[in-house]
């Protein structure tokens, strides 16, 4: 008698923030079918979805300094729930350094090739599984 294999659940990715400037890359990642994506416009609305224990949180960094500072203020809270990958619409060394200093798992931009972004998300998922 053959045993039926259950399909493996896709890792959850919670994208927090605006999709402005990053939507094409996120849509390509979603189309790959490797991850299950949920989107929320800001951290306040993310709190309910954090209860679902996403494998990875992708935190979109706005380019405006004041809004980026606000997003960074939530990084430590989000890190307690899942590996956090910071994403920005444009390459910005200042944002990269701030993200990594504050404990982001990794960082990519809308210019990152989809294969590299998938690798980053896979690594974050693997880290989450090892920590669990």
pLDDT band at 128 (very low <50, low <70, confident <90, very high): low
3-class SS at 2? coil
Q: pLDDT for 72-119, tens place per residue? A: 888 888 888 889 999 998 888 988 999 999 999 999 999 999 999 999
Beta bridge partners of 14: 38, 57
For 27-83, write each residue's pLDDT tens digit. 999 999 999 999 988 777 777 777 778 999 999 988 778 888 888 888 888 888 889
Question: CB under 8 Å, gap of 24 or more: what pairs does 22-27 form?
Answer: 22/60, 22/87, 22/88, 22/89, 22/110, 24/110, 25/110, 25/112, 25/114, 25/117, 26/58
Place of tokens 């399909």: 7
DSSP string for residues in 60-93: EEPSSHHHHHHHHHTHHHHHTTSEEEEEESS--H
Tokens describing residue 1: 């008698």
CA distance 23 to 19: 5
pTM for this structure? 0.86
- B/e letters for 85-115, b = 16+ CB within 10 Å, e = fewer, are bbbbbeebeebbebbeeeebbbbbbbebeee
Which structural domains are found in the chain, ordered by start?
A: 20-131 (3.40.50.2300)
Distance CA 65, CA 94 (A): 10
């Amino acid at each position: 008698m053959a045993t039926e294999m259950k399909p493996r659940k896709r890792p959850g990715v919670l994208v927090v923030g605006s999709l402005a400037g990053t939507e094409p890359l996120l849509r390509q990642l979603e189309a790959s079918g490797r991850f299950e994506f949920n989107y929320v416009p800001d951290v306040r609305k993310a709190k309910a979805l954090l209860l679902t224990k996403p494998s990875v949180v992708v935190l979109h960094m706005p380019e405006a300094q004041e809004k980026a500072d606000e997003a960074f203020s939530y990084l430590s809270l989000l890190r307690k729930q899942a590996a956090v990958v910071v994403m920005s619409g444009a390459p910005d060394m200042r944002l990269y350094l701030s993200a990594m200093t504050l404990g982001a798992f990794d960082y990519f931009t809308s210019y990152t090739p989809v294969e590299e972004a998938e690798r980053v998300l896979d690594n974050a998922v693997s880290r989450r599984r090892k920590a669990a």
